[in-house]
Amino acid sequence: MSSSNRQLSLNLFIYPGGHHEAAWRYPSSAPERAFDITYYQELARRAEAAKFDAIFFADGPVLADNIRYSSRFRLEPLTWLSAIAAATSRIGLIATSSTTYYEPYNLARLFASLDHLSGGRAGWNIVTTGAAQASANFGYPEQPNHAERYAKAAEFVDVVTKLWDSWEDDALVIDKDAGIFADDEKIHAIDHVGPHFRVKGPFNTARSPQGRPVYVQAGSSDDGRSFAARYAEAIFTAHQTLISAQRFYADIKHQAAGLGRNPDHIKILPGISPYIGSTEAEAQRLFDEFNHLVQPAYSLGQLRNMTGLDLTGHDLDGPFPRHLIDTSGPNGVASRFQLVVDIIDREKPTIRQLINRLAGARGHYVSIGTPEKIADEIQTWFETGAADGFNIMPPWLTGGFDAFAGEVLPLLRKRGLFREEYAGRTLRDHFDLPRPDSIFSGVARASA
Amino acid sequence: MSSSNRQLSLNLFIYPGGHHEAAWRYPSSAPERAFDITYYQELARRAEAAKFDAIFFADGPVLADNIRYSSRFRLEPLTWLSAIAAATSRIGLIATSSTTYYEPYNLARLFASLDHLSGGRAGWNIVTTGAAQASANFGYPEQPNHAERYAKAAEFVDVVTKLWDSWEDDALVIDKDAGIFADDEKIHAIDHVGPHFRVKGPFNTARSPQGRPVYVQAGSSDDGRSFAARYAEAIFTAHQTLISAQRFYADIKHQAAGLGRNPDHIKILPGISPYIGSTEAEAQRLFDEFNHLVQPAYSLGQLRNMTGLDLTGHDLDGPFPRHLIDTSGPNGVASRFQLVVDIIDREKPTIRQLINRLAGARGHYVSIGTPEKIADEIQTWFETGAADGFNIMPPWLTGGFDAFAGEVLPLLRKRGLFREEYAGRTLRDHFDLPRPDSIFSGVARASA
């Protein structure tokens, strides 16, 4: 796609009640439908009607802290998206899954199946799982460290790529008369032997419509950036300022080019949580409504997870005790930690101001204003090397999405920045990404 | 349910093209739709229209031998059934998954999610995975032996049961005004420590509609029977004769009662593959049509898998060389091995007769005849202590199922043996099984 008609990519990031940490308490949210698949199918259909590229589910194999005050349970994304696939026909379906706690053969099957049953709409958000407590659900005496998790992730991606490629695209023959179902010369053992995995293969199902699901990545640490530059086709990232997003964008595209990749084949999609009002004051009032629903006991726990600092008992309206943060500690390598420290240094907030700020979208960009203002910000980021699109994180669902689709999207369309209709059928089509050939294409099989 | 109105349980066991090993070659089968989810959704809707209890998918994390001649690839069952759930509303959804090659936390999530999104229709066919080659896809230097796999399976079931129970049924509060989403006193860490697994918990999602999926089991070795008597709520089993099925039935119910279980809460469901004709001769001609599609190169491989004996090069029309079978070898403990040896000893077949016999349904009972004859057999097995119902294995799909539903089912209904309408909504309702309380019900939480 030439830059003259370059189009925004837009995903709907679905959290059960919405992205504000108190979204489930908002009067028009529907937490009683939190386990009702039809609620999510309806949301996905709305996103599809809006011609969004994809919907997206975060995930982690652990119960988040303090479920008492928040709706932060987890829906298993691959089953959930399979049921959503059956209720939609075009929109992409991106599931988060962990390379630290899954067996590659099992996870490869789940994603290939989602890609088959959705007609080529699967995306995989590759994470190493930051939550330390997850390790105790999988028999680890302690959490594998950051670098170790990324090394394992790289090998994991290598293994599943080979599995997804192990049936060449034309391996299925299905010749009833000749009695040949598949050409076994085109189905390859992968014989992977590495430090973390030994996987013989071949895979036990045919290559999926997209060849492989779209590879998505969401970590922004140094390890995360290197990993993304090498493997990712879309990146979800969190930035509080245009300049931070521009630097990240330039770094990733530069690193990717250095690895011989086409930088256009990595879509960089910062998160944005829009609070929309017909005037600035109305939008601010909407944000304040959510602030009133915040429960500090919960928010301080979230802050502790991000910074290692427990401020329980401190005066919430006093200045943030910056000197208590240990930037040399084990949190120091995590990108979200750095983002919070940057906010504190830049804005000098009180504790309450900081927790309200983070309550909006856990460190993602919160945009408060009129539809015009929000459309302007999106356009600016898109046109000044900060973003190829956005991960839309409505404060609450479904109303927060409807406001974006109803009020901001028409402005983006009027400016020629976002599609009126889908041009293709697969998530790769929507993201304008190539369909990869199998690495085994044309390779003669060494042994039957 | 009193014995006077005791009803058959009927499952549709779905293999992509059907159960005959050459089903995909049958003129009216549709192997080109093998990866098309709508094909399976249509099948499930037909089974639901027939008021079947459930559909069922086998599985194994390995590519079967000799895909060249057969459609024996694998559809990942949990994603597939999630998409089928979205197209149906009543029928049960039973997926096979391996306790040898999955992490319990991950598998517990997939099944709980299927149960949530289907409104309580999930069943888990618990297998240890017999196929030796699977181990090479998961880094094992060799396959864990039979007893070791069953020991691990028992611990696995223990772990996932605790995870499914870890949120008590009333843990979800969702009180917007009070700001309480869940009562964390009713969400329990499981703190499991055992020889195979260490899993802390709690689970990361609310208890599912059925509490737990229905526990299904399908191995009939001594280890398999003990396991089934302890854990299973439904058993899929293979028998060639009424007397064999009666013995199995009596043994399981006796063992279960000895463990303090209610024998009525274990449904014993032999497989049956019906070849239906309006006369006996027509039914036999139908079976012969399939025999003509058999490819001995494939069938001999199947026979080798079951018996350890490779008969390639032998005269197919000569007597089966019984003396070459090693009954003291490692296959000796597998129930399918014993079943094949029994057929040979009882029927003294030629090699070709044996492979045609096994091609029908891999050792499951093949019933060839008029609708009346097949209905009589089902009634006899049901009423003489051999079966609580059947796993229906149509020779080909979808026609083989339509013939059963259209011709045999009305006879069973006329005889008062099978429901006209669903009485409930969940798979436990259909099977007339109780919904289990959480093991943590009423247990005070030791620590927050």
Cβ–Cβ gap A139/B74 under 8 Å = no
Cβ–Cβ gap B103/A105 under 8 Å = no
SS3 B95: strand
Arithmetic mean of pLDDT, A193-219? 96
Closest listed residue to residue B273, CA positions, set B408, B422, B434, B436? B408
Percent of the residues in chain A that have a pLDDT greater than 70, as a whole number: 97
The string of pLDDT tens digits covering residues A377-407 is 999 999 999 999 999 999 999 999 999 999 9
Binding-site annotation, residues of B for FMN: 59, 96, 146, 150, 220-221
Partner residue opposite B295 with nearest CB, options A106, A179, A199: A179
What is the distance between the alpha carbons of residues A290 and A366, in angstroms, rounded to a whole number? 13
- Which of B88, B93, B113, B137 to substitute to test the interface with A, most A CBs within 10 Å? B137
Question: With contact defined as beta carbons under 8 Å apart, do A192 and A162 qualify?
Answer: yes
Cβ–Cβ gap B32/A174 under 8 Å = yes
What is the distance between the alpha carbons of residues A154 and A259, in angstroms, rounded to a whole number? 15
Q: How far is B289 from chain A (nearest CA, A)?
A: 14
Size of interface A-B (CB pairs under 8 A): 211
Q: What is the pLDDT of residue A447?
A: 43
Partner residue opposite B198 with nearest CB, options A103, A139, A203: A139
Q: What is the pLDDT of residue A104?
A: 98
Q: What is the pLDDT of residue B294?
A: 95
The string of pLDDT tens digits covering residues B192-241 is 999 999 999 999 999 999 999 999 999 778 889 999 999 999 999 999 99
Q: Which residues of A touch B179 (CB under 8 A)?
A: 22, 25, 69, 293, 295
Cβ–Cβ gap B71/A24 under 8 Å = no
What is the distance between the alpha carbons of residues B98 and B63, in angstroms, rounded to a whole number? 15
SS3 B147: helix
Cβ–Cβ gap A113/B79 under 8 Å = yes
Minimum CA–CA partner of A199 in chain B: B137
Closest listed residue to residue B248, CA positions, set B229, B272, B273, B274? B229
- Which of B113, B190, B290 to substitute to test the interface with A, most A CBs within 10 Å? B113
Q: Which residues of B touch A211 (CB under 8 A)?
A: none
Minimum CA–CA partner of B27 in chain A: A176
What is the distance between the alpha carbons of residues A263 and A258, in angstroms, rounded to a whole number? 10
Residue A299 assigned ligand-binding role: no
Closest listed residue to residue B173, CA positions, set B209, B201, B203, B206? B206
Mean pLDDT of chain B: 94
Question: A174 vs A211, B15, B264, CA distance in Å?
Answer: 19, 16, 45
Partner residue opposite A79 with nearest CB, options B67, B78, B176: B78
- Which of A75, A82, A84, A166 to substitute to test the interface with B, most B CBs within 10 Å? A82
Question: With contact defined as beta carbons under 8 Å apart, do A255 and A357 qualify?
Answer: no
Q: What is the pLDDT of residue B363?
A: 84
**DSSP helix, strand, coil percent of chain A (3-state; round to 5):** 45, 15, 40
Cβ–Cβ gap A109/B61 under 8 Å = yes
Q: What is the pLDDT of residue B2?
A: 42
Arithmetic mean of pLDDT, A180-186? 96
Q: Alpha helix (H) ranges present in A265-385?
A: 280-293, 296-307, 335-347, 351-361, 371-383
The string of pLDDT tens digits covering residues B357-409 is 899 888 899 999 999 999 999 999 999 999 999 999 999 999 999 999 999 99
What is the distance between the alpha carbons of residues B156 and A134, in angstroms, rounded to a whole number? 18
What is the distance between the alpha carbons of residues B349 and B353, in angstroms, rounded to a whole number? 6
Q: Does the interface predicted TM-score (ipTM) exceed 0.90? A: yes
pLDDT(A184) > 80: yes
**Tokens, residue A197:** 């995995």
Cβ–Cβ gap A68/B116 under 8 Å = no
Mean pLDDT of chain A: 94
Question: With contact defined as beta carbons under 8 Å apart, do A238 and A220 qualify?
Answer: yes
Cβ–Cβ gap A116/B37 under 8 Å = yes
Q: What is the pLDDT of residue A1?
A: 41
Q: Among all chains, which residue has been given the structure tokens 């492989």?
A: A212
pLDDT(A419) > 90: yes
Question: With contact defined as beta carbons under 8 Å apart, do A26 and A396 qualify?
Answer: yes
With bands split at pLDDT 50, 70 and 90, how would you rate the model's confidence at A443?
A: low
Neighbour count for residue A350 (Cβ, 10 Å)? 15
Higher pLDDT, A63 or B5: A63
With bands split at pLDDT 50, 70 and 90, how would you rate the model's confidence at B330?
A: low
Partner residue opposite A80 with nearest CB, options B22, B117, B179: B117
Q: Which residues of A touch B117 (CB under 8 A)?
A: 37, 79-80, 83
Residue-wise DSSP of B321-332: -GGG--TTSGGG
Question: With contact defined as beta carbons under 8 Å apart, do A201 and A166 qualify?
Answer: yes
Partner residue opposite A63 with nearest CB, options B101, B197, B203: B203
DSSP classification of residue A404: I
Q: How far is B295 from chain A (nearest CA, A)?
A: 8
Q: How far is A179 from chain B (nearest CA, A)?
A: 6
Q: Count helices and strands (H / E) in chain A.
A: 14, 13
Cβ–Cβ gap A112/B60 under 8 Å = no
What is the distance between the alpha carbons of residues A125 and A115, in angstroms, rounded to a whole number? 14
Q: How far is B129 from chain A (nearest CA, A)?
A: 14
Q: How far is B177 from chain A (nearest CA, A)?
A: 7
What is the distance between the alpha carbons of residues A51 and A70, in angstroms, rounded to a whole number? 31
With bands split at pLDDT 50, 70 and 90, how would you rate the model's confidence at A332?
A: low
Partner residue opposite B113 with nearest CB, options A34, A80, A137: A80
Partner residue opposite B68 with nearest CB, options A79, A113, A182: A182
Topology annotation, domain A6-278+365-431: TIM Barrel (3.20.20)
The string of pLDDT tens digits covering residues B106-149 is 999 999 999 999 999 999 999 999 888 999 999 998 999 989 99
Q: Which residues of A touch B31 (CB under 8 A)?
A: 174, 176, 181
Binding-site annotation, residues of B: 59, 96, 146, 150, 220-221
Q: Among all chains, which residue has been given the structure tokens 């005959």?
A: B20
DSSP H or E run through A251: helix A242-258
Q: Which residues of B touch A206 (CB under 8 A)?
A: 35, 73
**Residue A389 burial (CB < 10 Å; 0-12/13-18/19+)?**
buried
Cβ–Cβ gap A24/B102 under 8 Å = no
Residue B210 backbone phi and psi in degrees, to 5: -85, 5
Minimum CA–CA partner of A24 in chain B: B176
Residue A284 backbone phi and psi in degrees, to 5: -65, -40
Strand partners, B391: B11, B271
Question: With contact defined as beta carbons under 8 Å apart, do B340 and B214 qualify?
Answer: no
With bands split at pLDDT 50, 70 and 90, how would you rate the model's confidence at B448?
A: very low
Question: With contact defined as beta carbons under 8 Å apart, do A337 and A326 qualify?
Answer: no
Q: Count helices and strands (H / E) in chain B.
A: 14, 13
For CA atoms A204, A208, A211, A212, the dihedral sign is negative
Partner residue opposite A200 with nearest CB, options B34, B64, B136: B136
Cβ–Cβ gap A27/B181 under 8 Å = no
Cβ–Cβ gap B102/A105 under 8 Å = no
Arithmetic mean of pLDDT, B296-300? 92
Residue A220 assigned ligand-binding role: yes
Q: What is the pLDDT of residue A448?
A: 38
Partner residue opposite B71 with nearest CB, options A73, A138, A181: A181
Minimum CA–CA partner of B87 in chain A: A86
Minimum CA–CA partner of A71 in chain B: B181
Partner residue opposite A79 with nearest CB, options B66, B82, B137: B82
Q: How far is A198 from chain B (nearest CA, A)?
A: 4
Q: Which residues of A touch B73 (CB under 8 A)?
A: 182, 204-206
- Pairing state between β A172-175 and A180-182: antiparallel
Cβ–Cβ gap B109/A181 under 8 Å = no
Question: With contact defined as beta carbons under 8 Å apart, do B92 and B424 qualify?
Answer: no
Who contacts A265 (Cβ-Cβ below 8 Å, separation ≥6)?
A: A233, A256, A433, A434
pLDDT(B445) > 70: no
The string of pLDDT tens digits covering residues A159-177 is 999 999 999 999 999 999 9
Q: What is the pLDDT of residue A446?
A: 47
Residue A128 assigned ligand-binding role: no
CATH 1.10.3720.10 holds for B3-279+365-431: no
Cβ–Cβ gap A105/B137 under 8 Å = yes
Cβ–Cβ gap A78/B110 under 8 Å = yes
Percent of the residues in chain A that have a pLDDT greater than 90, as a whole number: 85
Q: What is the pLDDT of residue A282?
A: 98
Who contacts B365 (Cβ-Cβ below 8 Å, separation ≥6)?
A: B238, B239, B240, B270, B271, B272, B273
Who contacts B410 (Cβ-Cβ below 8 Å, separation ≥6)?
A: none
**Tokens, residue B226:** 């003990």
Of A36-40, A115-119, A432-436, B323-327, the one with minimum mean pLDDT is B323-327
Who contacts B242 (Cβ-Cβ below 8 Å, separation ≥6)?
A: B380, B381, B384, B386
DSSP classification of residue B131: -
Minimum CA–CA partner of B82 in chain A: A83
Q: Which residues of A touch B301 (CB under 8 A)?
A: none
Q: What is the pLDDT of residue A335?
A: 75
Neighbour count for residue A365 (Cβ, 10 Å)? 22
Strands (E), A82-132: 92-98, 122-127
Who contacts B359 (Cβ-Cβ below 8 Å, separation ≥6)?
A: B20, B21, B22, B290, B291, B294, B299, B302
Partner residue opposite B83 with nearest CB, options A22, A102, A117: A117
